[in-house]
Structures are given as structure tokens and as C-alpha cells.
Amino acid sequence: MNREIYMNIKGLTIKKIHHDLTKKEYSSRELTEAFFNHIKKEDAKIGAFLDLSENMAMRQAEEVDKNISAGKGPGVLGGVPMAIKDNILIEGLRCTAASKILKDYKAAYNATVINKLRLAGAIFLGKTNMDEFAMGSSTENSAFQVTHNPHDLERVPGGSSGGSAAAVASEMAIAALGSDTGGSIRQPAALCGTVGLKPTYGAVSRYGVMAMASSLDQIGPFTKTVEDAALLLKELSGQDPMDSTSASFKFGADLLSPNIEDIKKLKVGIPEEYFVEGLDKNIAAKMNEVVKDFEKLGIKTKKISLPHTKYALSCYYIIMPAEVSANLSRFDGIRYGTREKADNLIDLYKKNRESGFGAESKRRILLGTFVLSSGYYDAYYAKAQKARALIRKDFDEAFKEVDVILTPVTPTPAFKIGEKSDDPLAMYLSDIFTIPVNLAGVPAVSIPVKNNSGLPIGFQLIGKHFREADILGIGQFYEKLYN
């Protein structure tokens, strides 16, 4: 292995790797070896990975090198070392969703996003830690280990995609995939100082991804730069016949090549409901700095209102557990999961689900079953769906006045490990600024605030349906202010 390559991996991006491999400055195999060496050195203290797929990665790297030698070129993602959240299936690899009930499960097929990345030449380094079945905001709910924030090992990386965020933030991967149901990409991205994108619902196929709440889940990337997020979205998006919720929409050239003059014409809304009591003072101050940076770009801002935002958290924690209850019913020890010894069928279900699921999963299954039960469906679930419609309407009305919405991502920076473990309601509030986006199905991206000392802080840009080009375009020009 080339020692210099090992030292230089911290400066790499998707675009830089493509340039370097094209110029044959190093091989894909050398680069992949360098990343595994870095992981073996760093991950003992961070705990981002549950499993490494070294043999698979080396085979993929050799294939990339063969294509380059044959004059085919590496492709836009060729040779790019990536980490994959452990609820996304890769054929032949263990996929646990960080749950004991699936501790020995190996995927029988690839998720659609994995097939797309394979075709693009990406390298899969391994599977990352997460909150069990994507239920949590800190990655403390994993059945196997706690992941630490690379910026302060005593603090959480966020969740549920905390392993993916930590892997990118600690330079153990160039990019990673996560899933976002109520903020599980954007929140850990903000706490770890990476870019995290939740695409429009339906823009990226969910086939082969373990469902948590099917009407809210969306797959998206963690990257070092906004430009890299755009490159990955372009490769991941598209209609999938295996996913009836996937859309046929195709992104235009402006996704990868934003024009500053077009960006200047965009108007950014600042919703008053997101700047309330409880927001960390430093985060509020940094949001004001971001607004000033936008003004330097010539972008105009306007104060707006999203009046039903106050119902979003309550609405989400009725709809999401209801869908969780349905989706996790398959993990019974017969079709999926471990098989505990029992005298009869009922005891088999009880033993497997009791020993297999963690506390947070049980909490959400019970809550979801309750709100769907006879006598409570209309009182809770039906009303939550009506509230969801109002929240979606708020965004529709706001987007008649503005093109993009700017908000904080989290109310506070990363909190200490164990600080909120015994208070589920306090933990749920971590997602208060991200949840409305999933309820409305619109795209949003978390971008690290530049010129910031101390713990990372992210700002959120929310766009119209399938207008990722707007939020990623603003993000790219914002980054250029500091480059």
C-alpha cells in the first residue's frame, strides 16, 4: 500500500477520486486498502461499522481497475468507497437492522439502490450501525454497540443513521447511505458535520430496504460536499418497477450544474415557527449568519409561517408507530428472525419478540397497535392523518410565496451519550425540525454551517417536490463562499 495515499484520503471527494483514478494517480485497490487500514485504526473508538465487507470490496476495486486498464474509464462513482446503513440489503451480507432478532440474517438479494451503485462502480466497505429498525435519534438503541460522535467521543452522532454519519465524518468512507423517516439522515448529518440529503418521497426506490414507516421512509446519501450529494442523487433516483411508490421523474441538468444567476432568483422563506423558545442560542445566531451569507450571494429572504408545524411531532408519533406495528409484525420467529424454543405458537411469538426486540422497538409497536385498535383508530390515527394533510398544505401555500425554506436542523448540538436515554419524549424532540418534511414528502438537505468553532451545527434547506436542484444549488454556492 502507498503510504502517501493513506495520508491523503482525508482530502478526497467523489469528484476528486474520479479525477485521480482517470489520471491513474493510484489504483482503486490501493485506495480501498487505504480506507480499510484507516477504518481498522479509527473505528475501535467510534463504532460506526457493524460489519466490514473487505473481500467483496477488493473484488469490486479490482473490477474498477480492470475497466480503467481497458480504457473504459471509472464512471462517476467508480472506485468510490462507501458505507451502507444496516437496514439496506446487500446480497450475501449480514443485514441486522441492529436488532438481535435478525442477528444471523443474510440478505438474499440486493436493494435497488445497491444495484444502482454497483453498476456505477461504487465500493461497499461495510454495513453501519443504527438505532434498531431505524427507531431512535442517537444510535444508542442498537442491540450491538453505541456509536460515538467523531467530534466528541462522549456525545452521540445522532440517529437513526448515526453509523453512516460517523463513518463519513471520521473519513472512514467518502459517502454513505442512510434512511430518513423523520430526520434520520439530516439530524445525524447536522450533529456530525456532514451533508445529509432526504430526497422527495418516491425519488429513490425503497425496494430492498427494511421498512419502518412506509409512507415516510426515504433513502438518501451522506457526503462531504453538497456537490457529492447531487452526484449520488442522480445515480440513485429513478422509477423502479419493484417499488410502486417510486416516481418516474427525471432530474435535469441543473441538479449537477447549477447556474448562479438562476440561484440568485430564488427566494428563501424563514418560518417563524422554527425559531422558538428552546432553540440553542448559538444555533439561532448561526442561522442568522447563514442568512447573511445568502444575501452575499444575492438571494432574497422572506419571513413566512407554517402554522400547523406545532402538530407535526404529535402527528408523526401516531402515524409512524402505526406503520411500525404493521411492518414489524413479520418478525415473529417463523418467517424472519431467531427461533426460540416454545411449546405452542403463541409462546413462540412471545418469546421471539420479547427477546429479539429492544425497548424502543417494543414501545413503538405497542403504541402503534394501540392507535390502530378498535375504538381508538378514529380518535388518534384518523385525526393524525388529517393533521398531516394540513401540514402538507402549509408547505404548498408557503411555496407559492418562496422557492426554498431555511430552518435549523436540530434544536441543540450533539448531546452526551446517555443524557436522554431515560426520557423518550426529550429524545423525540431532537427531530422536531425535521419531521414536518417527511410528513409533507418534500426534499430537504442538512448542510454544515461554515466558519463554526465547537460542535457541528447544520442548517436545513427544504424545497418543492422534486426541486432538489434548488436546495442543492444554493448549498453548492454557499460552500464556495468558504472555499
Average pLDDT over residues 244-271: 96
Q: For residue 473, what pLDDT is reported? A: 98
State the chain's mean pLDDT as an integer.
95
**What is the pTM for the complete model shown?**
0.95
Candidates 184, 205, 246, 325; catalytic one:
184
Encode burial over 422-436: b for 16+ CB neighbours within 10 A, e otherwise.
eebeebbbbbbbbbb
Digit-coded pLDDT (tens) for 101-112: 999 999 999 999
Structural domain for 42, as ranges? 3-250
Lowest-confidence pick of 81-85, 101-105, 151-155, 178-182:
101-105
Whether pLDDT at 422 is above 90: no
Whether pLDDT at 428 is above 80: yes
Candidates 28, 142, 160, 325; catalytic one:
160
How many angstroms separate the CA atoms of 23 and 352, rounded?
54
Q: For residue 6, what pLDDT is reported? A: 47
Asked if the structure places residue 72 within a domain, the reply is: yes
Asked if the structure places residue 336 within a domain, the reply is: no
Digit-coded pLDDT (tens) for 322-354: 999 999 998 887 777 677 788 888 888 888 888
Query: Which of 267, 263, 219, 198 shows the shortest CA–CA distance to 406?
Result: 267
Q: For residue 75, what pLDDT is reported? A: 86
Digit-coded pLDDT (tens) for 44-57: 999 999 999 999 99
Long-range contacts of 387-392 (CB under 8 A, 24+ apart): 387/308, 387/311, 387/314, 387/315, 388/315, 388/319, 388/439, 390/308, 390/311, 391/306, 391/308, 391/309, 391/311, 391/312, 391/315, 391/436, 391/439, 391/440, 392/439, 392/440, 392/441
CATH value at residue 145? 3.90.1300.10
**Of all residues in the chain, what percent carry a pLDDT higher than 90?**
87
Digit-coded pLDDT (tens) for 229-256: 999 999 999 999 999 999 999 999 999 9
Residue 374: band (very low, low, confident or very high) from pLDDT cuts 50, 70, 90:
confident
Candidates 27, 28, 53, 85; catalytic one:
85
- Sheet of 195-198, strand order: 49-52, 123-128, 81-85, 175-180, 218-223, 195-198, 444-448, 458-463, 404-408, 267-271, 300-304
Q: For residue 207, what pLDDT is reported? A: 98
Asked if the structure places residue 45 within a domain, the reply is: yes
Specify whether 160 is catalytic: yes
What is the DSSP annotation of 216-270? Answer: T-EEEEEESSHHHHHHHHHHHBS--TT-TT-------GGGTS--HHHHHT-EEEE
Q: For residue 354, what pLDDT is reported? A: 86
Whether pLDDT at 205 is above 70: yes
Whether pLDDT at 4 is above 70: no
Whether pLDDT at 433 is above 80: yes
Specify whether 27 is catalytic: no
Lowest-confidence pick of 279-288, 332-341, 358-367:
332-341
Asked if the structure places residue 15 within a domain, the reply is: yes
Q: For residue 2, what pLDDT is reported? A: 47
**Of all residues in the chain, what percent carry a pLDDT higher than 70?**
98
Asked if the structure places residue 192 within a domain, the reply is: yes
Asked if the structure places residue 411 within a domain, the reply is: no
374: which residues sit within 8 A by CB, 6+ positions away? none
Lowest-confidence pick of 31-35, 50-54, 72-76:
72-76
Average pLDDT over residues 65-86: 95
- Indicate the number of domains in the chain: 1
Specify whether 137 is catalytic: no
Average pLDDT over residues 223-230: 98
Asked if the structure places residue 344 within a domain, the reply is: no
Residue 117: band (very low, low, confident or very high) from pLDDT cuts 50, 70, 90:
very high
Asked if the structure places residue 384 within a domain, the reply is: no
Q: For residue 337, what pLDDT is reported? A: 67
